[in-house]
Structure 1
Amino acid sequence: MPSTITAEKASLRRQALDWLASLSPQARAAGDQALFRRFLALPQVASARTILLYHGMDTEPDTVRLLPPLWELGKRVCLPRCLPGNQMEARLVQRDSPLIRHPYGMLEPGTDCPIILPDQIDLVLVPGLAFDRSGGRLGRGGGYYDRWLSGCSGVTAALCRDGLLMESIPRLPHDLGVDLVITETGLYGPSLSLTGKSGA
């Protein structure tokens, strides 16, 4: 039942947040470096023309560090902008684009940055608290990405610390998973072997 799944997800969120709170700054930084190296080495990054990142905050990977290397690779890079009603849009950012602090704490592109439609984006880096090996995603409960991704045909990927790769994440009908789950030591997803890991 949906109420049972909602309760299970709330419990998993608490577990994930407790685990993240136990990480030292040094462990977090080392994990970020490994995750970013593996992300930038993906063939899906090499082939993508336009990529949607998110601006990591608090215990999330510091994904703003991915902007310079992606620009150096000649990629068009977007960041999300939150809209009323738990909606979002993607806007193109460049080196000189000013970013605005949202009340939630993340930095967003301003309205002067061009809107990029979901069907124009080749690769989306999707945030989440935890993931499972089949691409299941545990978000923070706002539903922004589930709504936005319904109109996107690009590849979806996620950065997941090894300690937050769960056995199984329960899903409601509207919950969308991701194609690729990248950890510090492995690569998982619905089209990959559930027992194997990709190379470093």
Structure 2
Amino acid sequence: MIDKVALRGRMRQVCETVDDRLIRSVQLWVLLADLPEYAAARTVMAFASMPAEPDTDGLFARLHHDGKKLVLPRLEGGEIVPAPVINGFTIGQWGIREPDGDRVDPATVDLVVVPGVAFTLAGDRLGHGKGYYDRFLAGSNAPTVGACFTEQIVDELPVEPHDVRLQHVIHA
């Protein structure tokens, strides 16, 4: 049995050593833009990256250039809700940048780009352990894309009944 806590620790260390993070992040967003689900999406829910994650500021610029509406997750009452960035960010409970706009109806989200600690190519994902994304995705019909560094791809992950399998995993 894979130890989730140990795997999270190992993956965080691996991600902290990625030295070409910005270049590889740009490559990720090119891969994302090649997906038919991206072309069809009007509103994209992405994530505000933490230091060891793929840099999403380039994704935000790409979404703007492509005429897509960007919404980001904000933690409210132990759940994530999508909201746009209007004037800037606030810093949320976990030190993550959160949008300052009013929440939007999750049904208006056409594509969700999901962070994680580890992924399989089949779409299994290991998050940070709080279940926020699994709960959000369980109530969403939007296509899902996990975005990560190649070093975060593993052969298998422990899967629990509440885990939501992603439709795509892109990596660079």
TM class, shorter-length: over 0.9
Tell me which of 16, 35, 59 is aligned to 1:21. 16
Rounded Cα–Cα distance in structure 1 between residues aligned with 2:136 and 2:104 = 12
Report % sequence identity. Answer: 33
Match of residue 170 from structure 2: 182
**Counterpart check, 1:102 vs 2:92:** yes
Mind listing any 5+ residue stretches in structure 2 that lack a counterpart? none
Query: How many Å apart are 1:19 and its aligned residue?
Result: 1.2
Contact 2:15 2:149 in 1 (8 A): no
Match of residue 89 from structure 1: 81
Match of residue 46 from structure 1: 39
User: Where do 1:1-200 residues align within 5 Å?
Assistant: 8-24=3-19, 27-84=20-77, 86-93=78-85, 96-110=86-100, 113-184=101-172
Query: How many Å apart are 1:68 and its aligned residue?
Result: 2.0
Contact 1:118 1:153 in 2 (8 A): no
The C-alpha deviation readout for 1:16-48, integer Å capped at 9, x for no partner, is: 112123322xx2222212112211222211110
TM-score, normalisation: structure 2: 0.92
- Aligned residue pair count: 172
Q: Which runs of 4+ in 1 moved over 4 A?
A: none
In terms of Rg, which structure is larger?
A: 1
TM-score, normalisation: structure 1: 0.80
Give 3-state SS (helix, strand or coil) of 1:20's partner: helix
Contact 1:118 1:149 in 2 (8 A): no
Mind listing any 5+ residue stretches in structure 1 that lack a counterpart? 185-200
Rounded Cα–Cα distance in structure 2 between residues aligned with 1:55 and 1:83 = 16
Rounded Cα–Cα distance in structure 2 between residues aligned with 1:67 and 1:130 = 23
Query: How many Å apart are 1:160 and its aligned residue?
Result: 1.8
Give 3-state SS (helix, strand or coil) of 1:115's partner: coil
